Structure 1
């Protein structure tokens, strides 16, 4: 299953997918995208694999799209670009929908599509030197295919800022935003990945798969007419409550409210 662009290591029930294009900071091209998609599907179907770790060889996790690949895309027709973008979207969806727990092992640059990979994994651990950013606007592009996963990870408000500015941010900010779960020193990264993997192996696999579906279902409730009506009714009821009457009265009286009333 190994390819020049992607290496797979097995350690018991844990499989690590190593992005292996260190000379270009593990940037995507169509070959790496295809290899990742194939490998993820094969590992999901392998009953001996319980946990999948995504990692990068060399100095970076993944620096986004390969510049030569993007240069070639500029000459594609609309239909060719649809097919090409569709392959990237399929790879991300395959990672997101994987029934098995996934961990991003992040160091160095994790930019554009690399940030998308981090957001798509269930758990993300990073070193302090990791850097993130949805830098697509700096190239006249938009982070479209990664947007569902990045917005889910950091929220619409933060995504609006970083999508528009293309700013890079460090591991501490990524943790504050919710993109990564832990920051650990480089010498401790593999130990922590191993410890989290062990914690995952202690869980029931079907229950973990059900948990993944549960989170996705609950978090995916849309802003709909029904939701707008519901929230309108809630604030109207709150405004008419005894507590609201007391709170407003106390504010204008410049006193502390008495919530026991």
Structure 2
């Protein structure tokens, strides 16, 4: 659709969701939020999609909440009220989500990056938690950002709003990789090629495992993880993987 702000396409097992609202730096407007949620849901239920890439058009990945819509809105009408659902969709997606940044991310845009399982950026991309500089709090995004960031860096960057580059974003845990702009497409493909090699059920279960709350004792943790592991060894997907390994062929789930 010509007036669509978020696009969805699938190729070779990779679903690409593209933010396409460059006129406002891909700000999280009501329309963009709605379409992003719809496409994330579509990817979750699309059997042809094994991996999700969150991409963008224009020079900016995402500038955060749409401040034009936020101005003058009552507390109950603020768009930020809808944002947790989007972050949870990305965080809890049974399919790996990779954020691809060819340009800057600010505020809520950084929340999207942190919610993704893997994040790759051009090395000239920049980041900032600009909320305090306009008198608001980076509260919602802290839920996905704080598990990623080194604590000292989180305190510094949340409180100062200082801009930082992609290489520092890698050092503090926000990004997995920062590469020259010309190498960004190849770096994204390197990750998606690896991700599509994983069994879809195993990938979903591994994501859940990584997000789980740890039991009180080591024995309880081992018991739960042993049950999970044994179940997957015996599962149809696990047995297919074992057989494919023995036969020196690719498993039947590889696109």
TM-score under structure 1 length normalisation = 0.79
Q: Distance in 1 between matches of 2:211 and 2:150?
A: 14
Check the 8 A contact 2:100/2:188 in 1, yes or no. Answer: yes
Q: Distance in 2 between matches of 1:46 and 1:200?
A: 16
Structure 1 residues 168 and 148: alpha-carbon distance in aligned structure 2, compared to 1, 3 A threshold: same
**Is residue 130 of structure 2 the alignment partner of residue 135 of structure 1?**
yes
- Give the CA deviation at 1:3: 5.7
- Give the CA deviation at 1:85: 2.4
Structure 1 residues 212 and 2: alpha-carbon distance in aligned structure 2, compared to 1, 3 A threshold: farther
1:21 match: 21
1:209 match: 204
Spell out, residue by residue over 1:38-83, the C-alpha distance to the aligned partner (whole angstroms, 9 max, x if none): 1101110111110000011011111112231222xxx2233323xx
Q: Distance in 1 between matches of 2:129 and 2:3?
A: 28
**Is residue 82 of structure 2 the alignment partner of residue 87 of structure 1?**
yes
- Give the CA deviation at 1:2: 8.5
1:183 to 171, 178, 181: 178
Q: Distance in 2 between matches of 1:194 and 1:79?
A: 41
Check the 8 A contact 1:127/1:183 in 2, yes or no. Answer: yes
Q: Distance in 2 between matches of 1:145 and 1:79?
A: 15
User: Which residues of structure 1 form unaligned runs of 5+?
Assistant: 228-261
- Give the CA deviation at 1:33: 0.8
1:240 match: none
2:139 match: 144
Following superposition of structure 1 onto structure 2, how do residues 215-226 of structure 1 map, counting pairs within 5 Å?
215-218=210-213
Aligned residues: 217
Q: Secondary structure at the match of 1:132?
A: strand
Check the 8 A contact 2:10/2:48 in 1, yes or no. Answer: no
2:161 match: 166
1:46 match: 46
2:32 match: 32
CA RMSD of aligned residues (A): 1.8
Q: Secondary structure at the match of 1:146?
A: helix
Q: State the structure with more CA Rg.
A: 1
Check the 8 A contact 2:65/2:80 in 1, yes or no. Answer: no
Q: Distance in 1 between matches of 2:27 and 2:80?
A: 15
Check the 8 A contact 1:34/1:91 in 2, yes or no. Answer: no
Check the 8 A contact 1:34/1:87 in 2, yes or no. Answer: no
TM-score under structure 2 length normalisation = 0.80
Q: Distance in 2 between matches of 1:98 and 1:170?
A: 28
Q: Distance in 2 between matches of 1:4 and 1:26?
A: 12
Check the 8 A contact 1:25/1:62 in 2, yes or no. Answer: yes
2:237 match: none
Following superposition of structure 1 onto structure 2, how do residues 51-70 of structure 1 map, counting pairs within 5 Å?
51-70=51-70
- Give the CA deviation at 1:198: 0.8
